Structure 1
Amino acid sequence: MDKFSIQSLIDETAQKEEKNGLFELENPYTLEINLKNQRVMMKKGAMVAYAGDVKFEREGLLSKGLGNILKKAVSGEGTSMMKAEGIGRVYAADNGKRIRLLHLENESINVNGNDVLAHEEAVASNIKLMKSVAGVMGGGLFQVNLSGTGYIAVTTHGTPLTLLVKPGQPVFTDPNATVAWSGNLTPSIKTDISLKTLIGRGSGESFQMKFEGDGWVIIQPYEESYVVRE
């Protein structure tokens, strides 16, 4: 068969029928969610296709007690989620970012709000604000704590790198490149005025996230841009 024929394209890229778990990776960039009278939470705007009897309902991430004033301060698809429920298949993706599936076993993980693609309804989500205005300027305005038992899907630009955090050996990261960190760690914001003065840029070079304790932090080889509007 000609490798450039339409049939070759179909054979190479067709969905994998044999996979029927709730969360399955069709490829590194596309998540398949197999719903059987179930409900999952997924990032608003992440649905790229679906088949079957599936309903979608928007739910704001910031609707869980942070106040209306904060809703006006943040924009971007990472600020809200939607429910998908019914019977069928849903395909989710996020701007060509790589997807990593994780199964929590009564565990907790903190994820940059923009990098949460989907999670089972049984997994509890709790929104937390960075404690410093520098966090807003650096792009890391809010984080999502996911806890419990169930599958979650997070996204990264490129292949992620996990850094170990050990007592007495803090790790500093660019907020725009920070994806996730262990549930027992709480980052603080470090401001480096001299770097800001030299570089003249209000980004990760002048604002860093400082992780202390015993855990890990995941970074990506990319500084993601965040938009803050009035």
Structure 2
Amino acid sequence: MSKYSLEAFVNETKENPHERDYFELEKPQLLEINLNNQSVWTKAGSMVGYIGNIQFERQGMLSGGLGNLLKKAISGEGSKLMKAEGTGKLYVADSGKKVRILYLNNEAVCVNGNDVLAHEQSIKSDITMLKSIAGVMSGGLFQVRLSGTGHIAITTHGDPLTLMVTPDNPVFTDPNATVAWSGNLSPELKTNVSFKSLLGRGSGEEFQMKFSGNGWVLIQPYEEVYTVEK
């Protein structure tokens, strides 16, 4: 059999039937969720296929719900989740970004809102906002604090890097390249430019997020810029 035959192609790329974990990495950019009469939250628009009997319910915002102000402020699909319920295999992805599965054991992690791909129903999600115009201009308008016990899946452009934060060594990051951080950290926003020049430009170079204390920050080799509605 030729290595380029259709049969060889199917055998190389087909789904692995032996994988039965709730959350599985089927490919580096493709998450498989094995539902057995369960519910899961996934990023709206992330479903690329499914097998079995699964129903989908579109949610207006993240599962915690938010007011009209944030709904008007955020454009695109990054703020919205979809509830999938039933029995079968669900496949989700986000623009070819790499997927990382994390299991929280009564722990918390903060994630850029656009980088949350999926989480179990047992996980609590709370939205926090950067109370600064710089946060809006950077596109890092909102973050999601995921806490409890269960699986979550986050996405990154390329291979991420974790930077350790200690009291002697705070970490400064570009908001557009910051994916996640440990739940005990509360970042500050640092900027040295005037309000006028900040509004005139939308790049993330003029300001940084500062992380102090003990914990970690996950960054990606890419500046992800989001559109904010006028």
Provide the TM-score with structure 2 as the length reference. Answer: 0.95
- Alpha-carbon distance in 2 for matches of 1:127, 1:227: 18
Give the 3-state SS of the residue equivalent to 2:203 in structure 1.
coil
The corresponding residue for 1:228 is 228
* 1:77 maps onto 2:77 in alignment: yes
- Alpha-carbon distance in 2 for matches of 1:12, 1:124: 38
The alpha carbon displacement at 1:170 in A equals 1.3
- Alpha-carbon distance in 2 for matches of 1:68, 1:163: 35
User: Do the aligned residues in 2 keep the contact of 1:135 with 1:207 (CA within 8 Å)?
Assistant: no
* 1:140 maps onto 2:159 in alignment: no
* Structure 1: runs of 5+ lacking an equivalent: none
Give the 3-state SS of the residue equivalent to 2:7 in structure 1.
helix
The alpha carbon displacement at 1:63 in A equals 7.0
- Alpha-carbon distance in 2 for matches of 1:144, 1:48: 24
* 1:207 maps onto 2:210 in alignment: no
The corresponding residue for 1:130 is 130
- Aligned AA (2:60): G
- Alpha-carbon distance in 1 for matches of 2:59, 2:146: 16
The corresponding residue for 1:15 is 15
* 1:151 maps onto 2:151 in alignment: yes
- Alpha-carbon distance in 1 for matches of 2:60, 2:153: 18
Provide the TM-score with structure 1 as the length reference. Answer: 0.95
- Alpha-carbon distance in 1 for matches of 2:141, 2:81: 16
Between the two proteins, what is the percent identity of the paired residues? 63
Give the 3-state SS of the residue equivalent to 1:79 in structure 2.
coil
Greater shift in the superposed pair: 4-13 or 54-63: 54-63
User: Do the aligned residues in 2 keep the contact of 1:131 with 1:188 (CA within 8 Å)?
Assistant: no
- Aligned AA (1:80): K
- Aligned AA (1:218): L
* Structure 2: runs of 5+ lacking an equivalent: none
Give the 3-state SS of the residue equivalent to 2:176 in structure 1.
helix
- Alpha-carbon distance in 2 for matches of 1:216, 1:30: 25
CA RMSD of aligned residues (A): 1.6
- Aligned AA (1:42): T
The corresponding residue for 2:86 is 86
